Amino acid sequence: MSKRFYVTTPIYYVNDVPHIGHAYTTIAADVLARFYRLRGYEVFFLTGLDEHGQKVQQAASKANIDPQTHCDQLMPKFKDLWTKLNIAQDGFVRTTDPQHQTVVQRYLQNLYDKGLIYQAEYTGWYCTFDERFWTEKDVKKGLCPDCQRPVEQVSERNYFFRMSQFQDQLKEHIQTHLDFIQPESRRNEVLGFLQKPLEDLSISRPKSRLSWGIELPFDRDCVTYVWFDALVNYLSGLEYLSSHPKASEFWPASVHLVGKDILTTHAVYWSTMLMGMERPLPQSIFAHGWWTMNGEKMSKSRGNVVDPHAMVQEFGTDAFRYFLLREVPFGQDGDFSLTTFHGRYQAELANDLGNFVSRSLAMLGNFSKNMIPSNAPETETEWDHQLQQTASTLFEKIEHHLYSLEFHRALETIFGLVQMANQYIDKTAPWVLAKDPEKTPRLHTVLFHLAETLRFLTYALMPFMPHTAESMKTRLGLTVDISNSAFLNYPNWGEYAYINPVTKGASLFPKKDMPRTEESQPAFSPNPPLTTGKNTQTVPLAPSPLTSHDAPMIGIDEFQKVQLKIAKILEAERVPKSSKLLKLKVDIGTEHRQIVAGIGKKYAPEDLVGKTIVVVANLKPAKLMGIESQGMVLAAGENEMLGLLGVSEDIPVGTKVK
């Protein structure tokens, strides 16, 4: 029996152009789709546009055009962005597609025939922005509890779906299927919501108030509530967009990826609709967080909106894809900073990955005439075995992390191998081996190990950074198709027969200067200036260190008392009964030390082994939970640990930092 994987994004509302939130969800779905294709699954990846509803009708009216023209004008902007972001969807649904409307009407008629849809008079508070009714107890000070916009009282005769009938059934399903709503905090939110009596759902609007929608098959004077219409796309898309002969077998969906603001709509509305339709529920609904700017939600009025087109133009598609999935654990809110983006670009993409690829291919050119030599097993050392072992466990770890949608962990694992490979070059010093003809077998072994590491990284990076992976494949002379079933079985070290010459090529990630202000960047909409009286000034990315008063000033003599050293993590394990503390064994050059660090919520132990870090080497020993700590690791962050400090250059362990 074939293995199938069905991943969806929400269908995006066409009242405006696509933004970073749209890009974030779609890139995550694309990574999953690409990975499962590589694993030999039959994959269907669906995205698209929600084109009905009052907001679309109003936006079209404001532009003095009809709603369909409005949708047709905005649709290419989404497809163009998906092309720029290298999104490889299998289906792109539009709710104005006639085939979609036919499916929606079929399910409406089915529910009506079962007695699950009825008509009743309704008076309530209506939010135009959310296109949703609220009860008296929900509304505070005349504002929508979701978007905090004014609501209006509306009385009309509508059709209702008997959602309340499925409350107990839904609660039981959530409690017995722990993966159904993720992450856990979101599952608890939904269960909390279901503690109150669930009301029936209004699923129609009279044409006299809203004409832009799908007609009810049993009442031509009404159109379908936009959410009922939109949610059915997950079923309709399989019916008319898939060329697979057994497309219906992709249901239930493997995972719906949604923003946390529409979790209730999916976890409650959609789930009860499916129960009424007698269809299986999706295997998982995963609600991710929002991107903010300097702690504030992005909005045009604040001038802090990130433009995905401009980010791609400035830094490239793969750098943008990498940052969004590497910077923040999927499921949590993230704060977008051009400073942080630039830092990751320089340190991890340009210095670590780009440098390793360039160095390796250059040495294959200089020392092996652009050909990958055979391995000489008799010359292998512990360094070779360590590199091979790390590479050989890479894909198993990636799959484990992606199963839990831990994109940042998967990328940490991949770049852990990149860092180890750079250290391997320094330890083996091929340029020294090349000077001694008697060491040619050893040189060939080292070059072979570098080529194999490049091959493994090419496969591993493909779902996340497809342009980069294809470029690495071409430079390495690989002939395998890395877009589909490349590791139906995990690749084995040494199994590939290299026959083609390698080519170094241009830098994968050219280094870029850091701009002084975010305002000057095309990636951001113009920031409103700070105005005080008649004086106007530009807001810098961060306060000048010369004017910061966060800590008392110290003299150079005091600073020199602190001995900082480059260290390498050899072992890592969790401290029992602590979710935060990890016990590390680190090499500081002269000896091995045991350090207890509060980094367990950011890093898994297995992801730390091999990392090069900076430690305080002359700190007095102290005990944490009964375990002696003989130093301190340096990390960035204030209230929350954001990441360990490392170095962008290849520096030997034990080197002093000053």
Residues 36-93 have pLDDT tens digits of: 999 889 999 999 999 998 888 888 998 999 999 999 999 999 999 999 999 999 999 9
Closest CA to 599 of 613, 583, 619: 583
How far is Cα 55 from Cα 14, in angstroms, rounded to an integer?
9
Answer yes or no: is pLDDT of 1 > 60.
no
Q: Which residues pair with 13 in a beta bridge?
A: 50
Residues 269-323 have pLDDT tens digits of: 999 999 999 999 999 999 999 898 877 777 666 667 888 998 999 999 999 999 9
In the chain, CATH 1.10.730.10 covers 335-528
Say if residues 421 and 356 touch (Cβ distance below 8 Å).
yes
Closest CA to 305 of 338, 329, 262, 327: 338
CA 86 remoteness from chain centre: 14
Please list the alpha-helical segments (H only) found in 223-331. 226-231, 233-241, 263-264, 271-277, 308-315, 317-327
| Number of alpha helices (DSSP H) and beta strands (DSSP E) in the chain | 22, 29
Quote the pLDDT of residue 186.
95
How far is Cα 126 from Cα 131, in angstroms, rounded to an integer?
7
For 168-199, the three-class secondary structure string (H helix, E strand, C coil) is HHHHHHHHHCCCCEECHHHHHHHHHHCCCCCC
How far is Cα 360 from Cα 366, in angstroms, rounded to an integer?
10
Q: Read off the tokens for 60.
A: 């079209």
Q: Which residues pair with 157 in a beta bridge?
A: 121
Q: Which CATH architecture has domain 335-528?
A: Orthogonal Bundle (1.10)
pLDDT confidence band for 485 (50 / 70 / 90): low
For residue 270, give Cα distances in angstroms to 277, 287, 336, 656.
Answer: 10, 14, 31, 58
pLDDT confidence band for 541 (50 / 70 / 90): very low
In the chain, CATH 2.40.50.140 covers 556-657
Q: Which CATH number fits domain 556-657: 3.40.50.300, 3.40.50.280, 2.40.50.140, 3.10.150.10?
A: 2.40.50.140
pLDDT confidence band for 136 (50 / 70 / 90): confident
Q: What is the pTM of this model?
A: 0.77
- Looking at the chain, how many residues does it have? 658
Backbone phi and psi for residue 158, each to the nearest 5 degrees, phi listed first:
-125, 170
343 half-sphere exposure, CB direction, 13 A CA radius: 13
Q: Read off the tokens for 399.
A: 């799959």
Quote the pLDDT of residue 592.
86
Cis status, amide bond into 515, omega within 30 of 0: no
Q: Which CATH architecture has domain 4-288?
A: 3-Layer(aba) Sandwich (3.40)
Residues 557-599 have pLDDT tens digits of: 667 778 899 998 988 888 887 878 899 998 897 788 899 998 8
Out of 122-131, 158-167, 342-351, least confident range: 122-131
